[in-house]
Amino acid sequence: MTDIVQMPRSVLMPITQAAQQMARQFAIEQPTEEKALQVYLNTLAVYAVNNYLRIMDIPTDLTVGDSWNPAIRFASNVADLWVTDVGRLECRPLNRDGSNLQIKTNSQPGSISCYVPPETQDDRIGYVVVEIDLEQQEANLLGFTPTVTSDELTIDELQPITEMLKNLESEKTQLVPLAKLSQWCQGIFEVGWQPVEAFLERAIAHSSFTQVAFRRSITKEIQRAKLINFGRHKPGLSVTLVVTITQQETNNSIALQVFPQTGETFLPSGVKLAVLDESGNFFFEIASGSNDRFIQSRQFSGQSGERFRVQLSLGKISLMEDFAI
């Protein structure tokens, strides 16, 4: 095995009993030994970074990350840690016994790299590589990078862990608030949610369906739109998410629509709209074709206080919006 050289300003953390217990609990839920090892190492990596950040007085919440969600943990290779008021920090493990160690042999022969799954290459504030030594029960935080550009991240590319602390401080910003639909019914809207006409006048004109849906004056119907920007992943690309609440006597129904950005007639092919329940289970998903002016969900409803998540995806890029009914 090729040993990983101790990097200056890396951080060595003990693997605590609590971390091992939680990692074993998550691992035994998996269907295969390979998946169990993946989840085990991911959990240890997240725990190690979490403990380090707590020592540095940086607040975190283990339970918010997708790595703590049973459904997402089962379906994806994720090791994210939620840093309060900042976002998701991906904690990628390297197993010291070499079972998931990769040696790059192309442009940098002999250099060691860590696998970065496609599902973790968006919606992240940065990446920490954590070497897991199960025999010594130690986790070595090797380094940090704010972005990745491929499925392989070489150790040589990493910045010292001290740079992660600076990056987290600079990234700290006000979180996008949970959209509370019950308050929408009282005329109270979160920042960013505007009348549909602010974004969609041109798109509405192209569709008789939306002309009827958006222009009819039904007092029991509430609509708001938000510009969803794919940001640095797809510069200049954005779509508009429209949420429609239809108030009924017994409950409220909700419908979602996605429109192209201003100046475009059609959505990009392959834009996906998905709705997930509180457990992270998908209960609706649709993708745009090559000539779709918009896509929409079916109507759905829920109990007061119940939460759901809307996921907008294009290729490897996924953006989330959270709601409470």
The string of pLDDT tens digits covering residues 200-243 is: 764 453 443 444 444 444 447 899 999 988 765 555 688 999 99
Q: What is the mean pLDDT of the chain?
A: 83
Query: Are 286 and 275 within 8 A, CB to CB?
Result: no
More confident residue, 101 or 98: 98
Q: Is the pLDDT of residue 99 over 60?
A: no
Angle at 82 between CA 113 and CA 119, to 5 degrees: 45
Q: How confident is the model at residue 176 (pLDDT cuts 50, 70, 90)?
A: low
More confident residue, 177 or 324: 324
Q: Is the pLDDT of residue 37 over 90?
A: yes
Domain boundaries, given as residue ranges, for the chain: 11-173, 181-324
What pLDDT is stored for residue 201 in this prediction? 63
What pLDDT is stored for residue 235 in this prediction? 57
How far apart CA 63 and CA 104 sit, in angstroms, is 34
**According to CATH, what is the number of the domain 181-324?**
2.60.40
Radius of gyration of the chain from its Cα atoms, rounded to whole angstroms? 22
Q: How confident is the model at residue 24 (pLDDT cuts 50, 70, 90)?
A: very high
Q: Is the pLDDT of residue 191 over 80?
A: yes
Q: How confident is the model at residue 7 (pLDDT cuts 50, 70, 90)?
A: very low
Among 99-108, 231-240, 277-286, 316-325, name the one with the lowest average pLDDT: 99-108
Listed ranges 18-27, 181-190, 260-269, 312-321; the one with the highest mean pLDDT: 18-27
Span 238-252, mean pLDDT? 86
Residues 6+ apart with CB under 8 A from 107: none
What pLDDT is stored for residue 213 in this prediction? 46
What pLDDT is stored for residue 105 in this prediction? 36
Q: How confident is the model at residue 86 (pLDDT cuts 50, 70, 90)?
A: confident
Q: What percentage of the chain reaches a pLDDT higher than 70? A: 83
Q: How confident is the model at residue 20 (pLDDT cuts 50, 70, 90)?
A: very high
Give pLDDT tens digits for 102-119. 434 344 544 688 999 998
Q: Is the pLDDT of residue 64 over 80?
A: yes
Query: Are 86 and 44 within 8 A, CB to CB?
Result: no
